[in-house]
Chain A
Amino acid sequence: MKTDLETMLASRDWLLTDGATGTNLFNQGLPAGEAPELWNTDEPEKIRNLYRSAVNAGSDLFLTNSFGGNASRLKLHHAQNRVHELNKAAAALGREVADAADRPVIVAGSMGPTGDIMEPVGTLSVADAADMFEEQARGLMDGGADVLWVETISAPEELRAAAIGIGRVGAPWCCTMSFDTAGRTMMGVTSADMVRLVDSLEHRPLAFGANCGVGASDILRTLRGMKEAAPDLPLIAKGNAGIPKFVDGHVHYDGTPELMADYAALAREIGATIIGGCCGTGPEHLRAMHARLSEMVPGDPPTLEEIEARLGGFSSDSDGTGAPTAKRRSSNRRRRV
C-alpha cells in the first residue's frame, strides 16, 4: 500500500518512525569502522531485516540505510564513486519492505551530514555540499524513496546546502538537527534559530525537528523551544534511548522501553507529530512507544520541571533560547573587509 507523507500527516495525529540504524546493524554483526551503506549491496537481507524490524514494531515510517551515503563520507571507504548505486539500493530495499506491509509505510531516504566543516571556518562550500546532497537525493528517489530525510545536521550552512540540492531534485523532504551542546547544535544553533532557518529556506521541508543529541529530557526541551517559536510545520522528535553506559566491557543505552514510551507521550503533548527514536532505540522500545501513543489522551504540554521529574535532568542549565547570552567581550572593532 503506497501513500505519501503529506497524505499520512493530513489523516493522522501522530506518526511513529523507526529507531536506531547503527545500533541494530552492529547487533547483526556489522564490524566497527565499516560503512553500513556497503551492506545495501553486500548484505541486502540484513538491511531488509533492519527495515522489517521497524515495520513489525509499528513504525509508520522508516529511514533507509544511507546516513553516510554522501560522497564525502563514502570517500573514507573509497566508495565515493558508488553514491548513486548505494543510495538507490538502500531505497529500493526499503520500497520492497514497505510495499509488502499490510498498512501504508513511508520510506524515508536518510541523508546525514558530510562530516566536513563548512566555509568560512572549514573547507566545504555550500555549492559543493549542495552537489553532494543532490547526488545522494537522486539515488534515493530513483530507488523509490517517498521522502528524503536530512538528519543530525549541526551547521546552518549545511542545512541550506541540503535544501538546495534536494530542491534541484524536486523531492519532498524533512530535516532534523542534533542539539547536543548545551541545548544547541555543535555549531551553536538553538531550537528557535532552527525554526527561523527552516522558515527562510526556498525549498521548504514537510516537517522538521530534532534527532539524536543527548538524552530524552534534552530533546523535549528542544522541542518546547521550537514550539514556542511558533513553527507552521509539523515537528519531529527522534531522540536517543537514554545515555550510553559502559557495563562489563560493553556499551549499552540506559533508556528502557518504558522511558521511551514516556518520552514519546511527552513529545506528543509538547506538539510533535512525527515521533521516534535514534541511537540505542530497538524494536522493543518502538513497540512500547507505539502502545503508549495509541492509548494516550494527550494532556497539557509538560513543563521543564515535569520533564525532569519523569525522564531525568538536563545536560545544561540553559538551552540558549530566551534572553541572549551576552558575549563576555564584544568586538570593539569590525573585521576588515
Chain B
Amino acid sequence: MADEEDDIVLSELDDEELVQQMHDDLYDGLKDEIEEAVNILLERGWTPYDILTKALVEGMRIVGIDFRDGILFVPEVLLAANAMKGGMGILKPLLIETGAPRLGKMVIGTVKGDIHDIGKNLVAMMMEGAGFEVVDLGINNPVENYLESAEKEQADILGMSALLTTTMPYMKVVIDTMVEKGIRDDYIVLVGGAPLNEEFAKAIGADAYCRDAAVAVETAKDFIQRKHNQLAEA
C-alpha cells in the first residue's frame, strides 16, 4: 500500500529511534520489519545480546504489560511473539557463538491425563518471546517426563499446566516426587491453568501460580533474578 504511514525507512533511523520503532513493530506484530531492524543493528555493530534484551525483550515486555492489563488479547500477543521469533531466528546462532548469558530455560507440559494445551502453548510462546529457552513436552506428561527432561536440559524452571479439576492434583504428584528425590529446590516450579488459583499452588508446594502467560513471564523473570542474587551472595 502506498500510504504515507508506510514510508518509515528503518535504516534511516538512528539507534534510539530504531529501537523505539522495533518496540512499536513488535507491538503490531510486524515480523518482516523486526527481522530487517535486527539485521540493521547487527550491521551497526550491536552485540546480539544487546539487540535481544534492549530491543526484542523490552518490546515484548510492553506487550506483556498490556496483555496483563486487558488491553491486548491473545491474537495480538501471538502475532507479536511470532515477530519476536523472526528476530530470534537471526540472533540465536550468534548468541550461542558469542557465549551470551542465558536468561533461563524452562521445561513445560500439560500434566498426565490432560490434553488441553492452548494455555501451555501461550505460555511457551510468551516465554520464548521474553528470551527464555523453552522445551515443550507437549500434552499428557507423567512425572518421569518432567524430571528426566528437566535434568537433561539443565532447566531452571519446571512449568505444569492443567485445564481439568481432575488432572490438576497430579501437579502435587510431580512436586512430591521431586521432594522425595531431594531435587525440589533445584528448580523453580510454576503452575497454571483455568481452574487453578494461588491457594492451590501453595497447597501443593509450587513456587507460584501464574494466572496467565504474561504473569508467567513476569514471575519467571522475578524468580530467575532472585536465584542469581542468591548465587551472587553465596
Residues of A within 8 A of B (CB): 22-23, 26, 31-33, 76, 115, 117, 120-122, 154-155, 180-182, 184, 186-188, 243-246, 249-253, 279-280, 316, 318, 320, 325-329, 331-337
Contacts and interface: CB of A to CB of B under 8 A. Distances in A.
Contact of B70 (A121, A155, A182, A336): A182
B164 A180 contact: no
B78 A245 contact: no
Contact of A334 (B1, B115, B167): B1
Range for the number of chain B residues in contact with chain A: 35 or more
Nearest to B3: A334
A22 B164 contact: yes
Given A182-B70, A251-B195, A318-B70, A122 B166 contact: no
Interface string B1-34: 1010110100000000000000110011110110
A246 B114 contact: no
B165 A251 contact: yes
A33 B113 contact: yes
Given A33-B112, A76-B115, A333 B167 contact: no
B221 interface: no
Contacts of B164: 22, 32
B70 A181 contact: yes
B91 interface: no
B5 A334 contact: yes
Interface string B96-130: 00000000000000001111111001000000000
Interface stretch (B37-45, B147-155, B197-205): B197-205
A320 B71 CA distance: 9
Contacts of A327: 66, 71-72
B79 A121 contact: yes
B182 interface: no
B25 to A, nearest CB: 8
B67 to A, nearest CB: 10
Given A246-B199, A333-B6, A121 B169 contact: no
A188 B74 contact: yes
A117 to B, nearest CB: 7
Which secondary structure characterizes the binding site on chain A?
loop
B113 A32 contact: yes
Given A122-B78, A246-B203, A115 B118 contact: yes
A154 B38 CA distance: 34
A120 B200 CA distance: 35
A320 B62 CA distance: 20
Given A154-B74, A251-B168, 7 more contacts: A32-B167, A120-B79, A187-B74, A244-B195, A244-B197, A279-B195, A336-B30
A335 B113 contact: no
B47 interface: no
A117 B70 contact: no
B8 A249 contact: no
Contacts, number: 122
Nearest to B167: A32
A303 B66 CA distance: 29
B167 A336 contact: no
Contact of B73 (A187, A244, A333, A335): A187
Contacts of B33: 336
B115 to A, nearest CB: 5
B191 to A, nearest CB: 11
14 contacts: A22-B164, A31-B113, A33-B140, A115-B116, A117-B78, A181-B73, A329-B23, A329-B62, A332-B24, A334-B1, A334-B3, A335-B29, A336-B1, A336-B33
Nearest to B8: A333
Which of A121, A249, A336 gathers the greatest number of chain B CB atoms within 10 Å?
A: A121
B113 A186 contact: no
Contacts of B161: none
Contact of B6 (A26, A280, A334): A334
A298 to B, nearest CB: 32
Interface string B133-176: 00000011000000000000000000000001111111010000
B218 interface: no
Contacts of A181: 70, 73-74, 212
A184 B73 contact: yes
Contact of B114 (A33, A115, A182, A186): A33
B24 to A, nearest CB: 6
B192 to A, nearest CB: 13
A249 B169 contact: yes
Contacts of A279: 165, 195
Contacts of A328: 62, 65-66, 71
B186 to A, nearest CB: 25
Contacts of B170: 32
A243 B8 CA distance: 49
A188 B118 contact: no
Contacts of B70: 181-182, 184, 316, 318, 320, 325
